[in-house]
Every structure is written in structure tokens, then in C-alpha cells.
Amino acid sequence: MTNQEIKALISLLDDEDLEIAEHVEEKIVSLGEPVIPFLEEHWEESINPEVQKKIEDLIHKLQYELLYSRLANWKKNGAESLIEGMWLVNTYQYPDADLANINKTLDQIYYEAWLHIKPDMHPYDQIKALNHVLFRLYKFSANTKNFHSPANSMLHLALETQRGNPLTLCVIYLTIAQKLGLPVYGVNLPNLFILTYKNKKDGYQFYINVYNRGLILSKTDIDSYILQLNLHPVDIFYEPCSNLDIVKRALRNLAVSFEKLNEPEKATEVNKLLDSIVDDGGITIRKQPDEEEDEENSDNEEEDDSV
């Protein structure tokens, strides 16, 4: 369709005949993402609140379907870029979030960290230096007052405000660490996402609680934590998880945030996005987010000095 034809089609959204209006909406949706600028232009020109609401709903539907497809393709292509996956999660709430700006900010933090960390340093000292950069120089911290805010699941907002939940802070931390060549990975610990430093060559391994400003933990500490939760130890509580696992958890966190804000429609939409990246034939497990336990323990944890 030409631009003029698209504009003419959108103008029919004002038609009082419901059957015509429904047909027009279906046709607009079939045109996909390219029609969004025309919808936005018509929204600005319209003085009818009902038409404006109809346009807003159409734009959201188009953006949502695009996001669902992008997430599915991200997984299909190997889920290689964690930052891309987290950016896609951002675009549910913030369709205009800029991936290039996210990467630019991460590159700036990486350069500062590169100035402080040397390859010949002991792993503990490397983590101390990275903690200094992130928590002293850049002042990243846990958002304990608004723990369940959807904003905490938004990577670009965590980078802007230097505050986030365990997962977003860990994503920033491990991204910088991996850019530096450090063997740091995510760990799907129940209720609290953490990181592990694991050198596969010599088997050297310890854990990092980023939500507590990079506090180093031992396997014994993880054992005690799991015991407190009355859970049976399994490998996933100790070993590195995949980028796909991290993005799944980000979506679960976001769904829980909307549930707690009494926004069930958004929670349902986010859970459907989760379905786009579950394993073929798998079952989506809805409850493995960073739950209240983090919020309850975080005030005490923040009093501890980071390494």
C-alpha cells in the first residue's frame, strides 16, 4: 500500500459502523510494524479520545507481536547475546529503548574497569577491583525500597539510575567481567540471582552476591542458604546458567512485578512472552523469580562490606 492509502485506511478508524471499524483494525494489524508511524501521526491529529485509545491499543498490539517474534528469533538463533535478550525484555515497557545506548554505557564502564584490573591479579583481587569500579565509582546499588517495581527489570533504567534488582545488577556485572576475560557466569539460585567465578581449566570456583555489593561467597555459604530455604541441593543452584535462563528469569521477575501491582493483563502478556522462549515441548515454570526473600534480607545484607 502507498502512504496515502495507509493514511486513508487509518482514517476509517473513526467510522461509526462497527463492522467497518473492525475490518479496518484487522487490515492495519496485518500491515505490521511499518504502519506504526502513521498511527502515531493520526493519534496526534485526532481530537476523539475513543479513536486515540483505539490507536494506542493497536500500536501496543503491533509492538507486542513484534517483540514476541523477536524473542522467539533470539532464542532460535542461539540466544548468543545476553544484552540483546535483556534489551528485548526492556522493549515491552519501553519500545524506544536503544540497544546502542545500552552497549555504549556498558563499554564506558568496561573501559574504567579495564584500567583497574590486570590479568596477573589473583581472582579475589580482580573481583575486589571490579567491585570498586561498580559500587564505589559508579555507585550501583540494590533498589530495596521499590524491590518489585517493573523498572528494576529494565536494564537500560538500571544503567541510568545505578539501581536495580539482583538480576539486572548481575547482568551488568557479568557483562563487564566477561568483557575483561574473567570467567564469571550467572547462577540460578532460588530467590536470589548470583554469579560464580569458575575457571574451568583448574576447577577454581567461588560465588559473588552482586546484590550485596559483590560479597564473595563459598560453596559452604550456598549450602547454608539452600538449607535455610528447606530445599534439596541440585546442580543448577551451583553451576553457571545460560543466557536463555537469565532472560527467562527476567521475564518471570517482570510478570511478578505486574502481579504485585495488580496489573494482571500485563502479567499475562509477559508470561506469554516467556512462552516464546521456552524449550520445545517444555513446560513454563512461572515461579522462579527474585521474590520477597531478597527484599527482606537486603537491608541486613547491605550493611556488609563488599570484598
Q: Where are the domains of the chain?
A: 3-76, 82-301
Which pLDDT belongs to residue 287?
46
Average pLDDT over the chain reads 87
d(CA 143, CA 151): 10
pLDDT exceeds 80 at position 34? yes
Maximal CA-CA distance, the chain = 74
Which pLDDT belongs to residue 265?
95
Which pLDDT belongs to residue 284?
41
Q: Which of 254, 85, 112 is nearest to 180 (CA)?
A: 112
Which pLDDT belongs to residue 289?
54
Q: What are phi and psi of 205, to 5 degrees?
A: -150, 140
Give the list of residues 6+ apart from residue 100 with CB closer than 8 angstroms, or none.
Answer: none
Which pLDDT belongs to residue 156?
96
pLDDT exceeds 80 at position 130? yes
Start-to-end C-alpha separation, the chain: 61
pLDDT exceeds 60 at position 282? no
Rounded mean pLDDT, 32-55:
82
pLDDT exceeds 80 at position 239? yes
Rounded mean pLDDT, 206-233:
96
Rounded mean pLDDT, 74-100:
96
Rounded mean pLDDT, 246-269:
96
Q: Which of 143-157, 185-199, 244-258 has the lowest mean pLDDT?
A: 143-157
Which pLDDT belongs to residue 42?
79
Rounded mean pLDDT, 249-270:
96
pLDDT exceeds 60 at position 286? no
Q: Give pTM, 2 decimals.
A: 0.85
**Burial zone of 63 (CB within 10 Å; 0-12 exposed, 13-18 middle, 19+ buried):** middle
Rounded mean pLDDT, 110-136:
96
Residue with cell 538480576: 167
Residue 267: pLDDT band (50, 70, 90) is very high
Rounded mean pLDDT, 87-110:
96
Which pLDDT belongs to residue 120?
92
Residue 229: pLDDT band (50, 70, 90) is very high
Residue 16: pLDDT band (50, 70, 90) is low
Residue 290: pLDDT band (50, 70, 90) is low
